[in-house]
Each structure stands twice: as C-alpha cells, then as structure tokens.
C-alpha cells in the first residue's frame, strides 16, 4: 500500500511526532510506502508530494511545526479541487490519506470521505476544541508556554505596580485562557463563551491594587465585552470563512488605564503559543494518535478519526468529530471563579 499523510490548518507542537509514528509503523509493521503531501490540502490538489522514509523522521520527534508544511487551503473552494485530488491520488497510487488537523482540515476529510476518498483523521489543535476527543495534542504545550509567560509577566508587573493583560489564543473556546490562567494564578480570566462586564473587571483590578499586588488578567482573543463584539485584527476571511482576531488585550488594557488611572500594559502571546518543542505529554499523545491512525488504515476503517477517551485511543466517525466545537462549559468556568479576585 501507499499512504499519503498531510498536515493542515495552523501548525502546533506534536505534528512531527504524528508523522514519525505513521511512517515508522507503516513501514516497519506493514511494509507500506509513505508519501507526504506538502502544505495541507494544497498538496493533493497540486500534486505536491514528498516520499518519506525512516531516515526522514529520525530526528523530528522534538521539533515543533511540521516537516510537510501547512496551509488553510479548502479544496471545496478551489475550482475542480476535488477532481484534482482524485487525479493526484491516481497518479501516485495512493490507497488512503491520513489527515492531521483541526475542525477545518477534518471537515474537508469528512466531505472527501463522503465523496469516496479514503481518509483517516488525526485531531490537532492548540485550542482543544474538538468535541469528539478529550484532548488534542498541542494544547498542553500551548498552556505551558502561556503559563510560563504569565509567571514572567507577574514579576515585572509587581516591580512597576502595573496591571498586566495577557492575551492568549482561543477564537471560540477559552480552554487555553482557563488552564493557563488557573495555573498562573490570574486574578481575572476572560473566555469567548462568556461575555465579560468591563466594570466588574475594573473592580477586580482596583481591589488587587488596594491589596498592594499587581493584577494579572488573562483574556482569550475571542472574548467579548457585554454588548460588544470580537476585536478584529483584520476583516479579511480565509478559505474557511474565519476572520483574523487579535487586539482585545490591548483594548482592555487601555480601558483599565482610563478607568483606574493606573498604568496598564498588554502582552499578546500570539504564535509563540504554537511554536517550539512539544511537551512530553504532547509527544506521547501525538505518537499514540499516529500509531492508531495506521491501525485504522490497515483495517480499512475510513471516515474515522482517532480520539482520546479517558486514557484509551478510540475511533469515532469524522461526522461526530466535526459536529460541534468543545467549548468551556459554564460549570467549569464557575468552579474556577472561586480563585479569581484580589
């Protein structure tokens, strides 16, 4: 058999670990040939291929990013995109594709499966917002990076008696903000699932200053004030209809400064959360996902995604994996609120 593998959407730590696992098990256990598609779904559309053997994956376990490259290409937005994928598959004698990605990449995988192309999905997103799996790889690394940033910012905030607003990634789900905020001891955590009241945020900030400690506010990029809207970095939409968010941290820092008269600064972590070496947890989870994806291909169980349930790796339908996003439930946010405040 010849198996194609691709990585789509935003990069994250652990992608190379999945590729490594697919290649090693595919070759060693089954004697398959592995073909990498470059730059997400752009690869099979434009026949951008790269043979991958054992030597190619020897040193990639600890590397961030992806050796195959990525993009936000949507074959269903490209004229003749699906037919061109069929032509690439036929020209390269590809028997199945392992698609590693988040909601958009896996949404395409589901549609391609419906159109008769054999695809197995692997869940990837630092946002941890895929509902069919307990955790996605990349999330743990992003939380560690954000938590370390909060720890470092706290010392400079205390030194200068400033309010520090830390903006983390999270378009529709606030998992990174919630976990890093709790781990970093933030005084306020703001998530997209729950519009925030600016007056109440300011109250927390003033109480913190009254206790002679500097306030730390963690805000997800998709968080919105009550009656307001998302802060857009750009109104331009990508191939999946997403606008580029960013700037709520700066906006909130300015509001705090205007209302309190205290110095307030914003730190926007951005793509720092996506880069660098994956944590041990993400390396192991990504490796397990890759191994089980090979098992799904070997069984001909296409149209499925490997998922973590408890400590077990299981298979779920791609339709289930892409049905809805996993957002922070009200009870998780409310149980954390006991730690907020001065």
Residues 269 and 282 in one domain: no
Q: Are residues 282 and 133 in the same domain?
A: yes
Task: Please check whether residues 129 and 145 belong to one and the same domain.
Answer: no
Residue 250 assigned to a binding site: no
> b/e map of 71-91 (b: 16 or more CB within 10 Å)?
bbbbbeebeebbebbbebbee
| 53 in active site | no
Q: What is the CATH number of the domain that holds 165?
A: 3.40.50.460
Q: Does one domain contain both 208 and 310?
A: no
pLDDT at 227: 78
pLDDT of residue 317: 95
Q: Tally Cβ neighbours within 10 Å of residue 58.
A: 11
Per the annotation, does 103 bind a ligand?
yes
Of the pLDDT bands very low, low, confident and very high (cuts 50, 70, 90), residue 230 is: low
CA distances from 147 to 176, 311, 317 (A): 9, 24, 34
Residue 274 known to bind ligand: yes
Q: Looking at residues 180-208, what average pLDDT do you find? A: 91
Answer yes or no: is 171 a known binding residue. yes
Instruction: Give pLDDT, residue 245.
Output: 63
State yes or no: 126 annotated in a binding site. Answer: yes
Q: Is 40 assigned to a binding site?
A: no
Residue 337 lies in a domain: no
Could you give the angle at which helices 139-160 and 175-183 cross, rounded to 10 degrees? 50
**What is the structure's pLDDT at 337?**
65
DSSP secondary structure of 170-213: -SS--HHHHHHHHHTT-SEEE-TTS-B-HHHHHHHHHHHHHTT-
Rg (CA), the chain: 21
Domain membership of residue 11 (yes or no) is yes
Q: What is the pTM of this model?
A: 0.90
For the ranges 24-33, 57-66, 154-163, 251-260, the lowest mean pLDDT is seen at: 154-163
Q: Is residue 264 part of a domain?
A: yes
More confident residue, 339 or 29: 29
How far does CA 44 lie from the centroid of its chain? Answer: 23
**Chain segment 235-266, per-residue pLDDT in tens:** 555 454 545 566 889 999 999 999 988 888 89
Among the ranges given (99-108, 144-153, 327-336), the one the predictor scored with the smallest mean pLDDT: 327-336
Q: Does the pLDDT of residue 62 top 50, yes or no? A: yes
Are residues 12 and 99 both part of a single domain?
yes
Report if residue 339 sits inside a domain.
no
Q: Is residue 54 part of a domain?
A: yes
Q: Does residue 85 sit in the same domain as residue 174?
A: no
Q: Residue 318, Cβ neighbours under 10 Å: how many?
A: 26
What's the domain range around 190?
140-275
For residue 44, name the pLDDT band (cuts at 50, 70, 90). Answer: very high
Spatial distance between the Cα atoms of 37 and 97, rounded to a whole number of angstroms: 9
pLDDT-above-90 percentage for the chain: 70
74 lies in some domain = yes
Average pLDDT of 20-41?
97
Please indicate if the annotation marks 169 as binding a ligand: yes
Residue 213 has pLDDT above 70, yes or no: yes
What integer pLDDT is reported at residue 238 of this predicted model? 45
Is 127 labelled a binding residue? yes
In the chain, the N- to C-terminal Cα span, in Å, equals: 61
In terms of Cα–Cα distance, which of 9, 19, 11, 3 is closest to 283? 19
Percent of the chain clearing pLDDT 70 (strictly above): 92
Q: What are phi and psi of 8, to 5 degrees?
A: -120, 165
Residue 13 reports pLDDT greater than 50: yes
| Pair (271, 288) in one structural domain | no
Does residue 338 form part of some domain? no
Residues 6+ apart with CB under 8 A from 74: 41, 81, 104, 108, 239, 240
Residue 56 pLDDT > 70: yes
Judge if 122 and 184 occupy the same domain.
no
Residue 46 in this model has a pLDDT that exceeds 70: yes
Per-residue pLDDT, 207: 87
pLDDT attached to residue 342? 44
Per residue in 73-121, pLDDT (tens digit) is 999 999 999 999 999 999 999 999 999 999 889 999 999 999 999 999 9
Give the confidence band of 336 by pLDDT, cuts at 50, 70, 90: low
**Residues 55 and 85 placed together within one structural domain of the fold:** yes
Domain membership flag for residue 62: yes
Residues 88 and 177 in one domain: no
201, 292: one domain? no
Question: What are the backbone dihedrals phi and psi of residue 232, each rounded to the nearest 5 degrees, phi first?
Answer: -95, 130
DSSP 231: P
Q: Are residues 34 and 70 in the same domain?
A: yes
Which domain CATH number covers 25?
A: 3.40.50.450
Q: What is the number of structural domains in the chain?
A: 2
User: Which distant-in-sequence residues (6+ apart) come within 8 Å of 73 by Cβ?
Assistant: 8, 39, 40, 41, 42, 45, 239
22 vs 214, residue with greater confidence: 22
Active-site residue among 127, 129, 140, 282? 127
């Amino acid at each position: 058999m010849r198996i194609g593998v691709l990585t789509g959407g935003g990069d994250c730590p652990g992608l190379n670990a999945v590729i490594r696992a697919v290649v090693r098990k595919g070759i060693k256990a089954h004697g398959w040939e592995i073909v990498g598609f470059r730059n997400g779904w752009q690869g099979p559309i434009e026949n951008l291929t790269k043979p991958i053997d054992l030597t190619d994956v020897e040193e990639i376990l600890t590397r961030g990013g992806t050796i195959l490259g990525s993009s936000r290409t949507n074959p269903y937005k490209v004229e003749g995109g699906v037919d061109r994928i069929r032509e690439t598959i036929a020209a390269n004698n590809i028997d199945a594709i392992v698609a590693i990605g988040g909601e958009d990449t896996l949404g395409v995988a589901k549609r391609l499966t419906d159109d008769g192309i054999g695809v197995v999905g692997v869940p990837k997103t630092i946002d941890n917002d895929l509902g069919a799996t307990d955790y996605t790889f990349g999330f743990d690394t992003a939380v560690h990076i954000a938590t370390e940033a909060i720890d470092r910012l706290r010392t400079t905030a205390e030194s200068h008696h400033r309010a520090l607003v830390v903006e983390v990634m999270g378009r529709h789900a606030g998992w990174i903000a919630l976990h890093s905020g709790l781990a970093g001891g933030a005084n306020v955590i703001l998530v997209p699932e729950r519009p925030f009241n600016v007056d109440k945020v300011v109250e927390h900030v003033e109480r913190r200053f009254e206790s002679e400690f500097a306030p730390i506010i963690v805000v997800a990029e998709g968080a919105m004030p009550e009656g307001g809207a998302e802060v857009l970095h750009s109104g331009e939409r990508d191939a999946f209809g997403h606008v580029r968010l960013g700037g709520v941290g700066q906006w909130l820092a300015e509001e705090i400064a205007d209302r309190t008269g205290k110095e307030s600064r914003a730190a926007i972590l951005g793509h720092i959360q996506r880069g660098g070496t994956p944590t041990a947890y993400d390396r192991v989870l990504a490796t397990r996902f890759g191994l089980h994806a090979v098992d799904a291909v070997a069984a001909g169980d296409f149209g499925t995604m490997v998922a973590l349930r408890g400590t077990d790796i299981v298979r779920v339908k791609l339709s289930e994996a892409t049905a809805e996003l996993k957002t922070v439930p009200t009870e998780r946010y409310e149980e954390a609120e006991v730690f907020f405040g001065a």
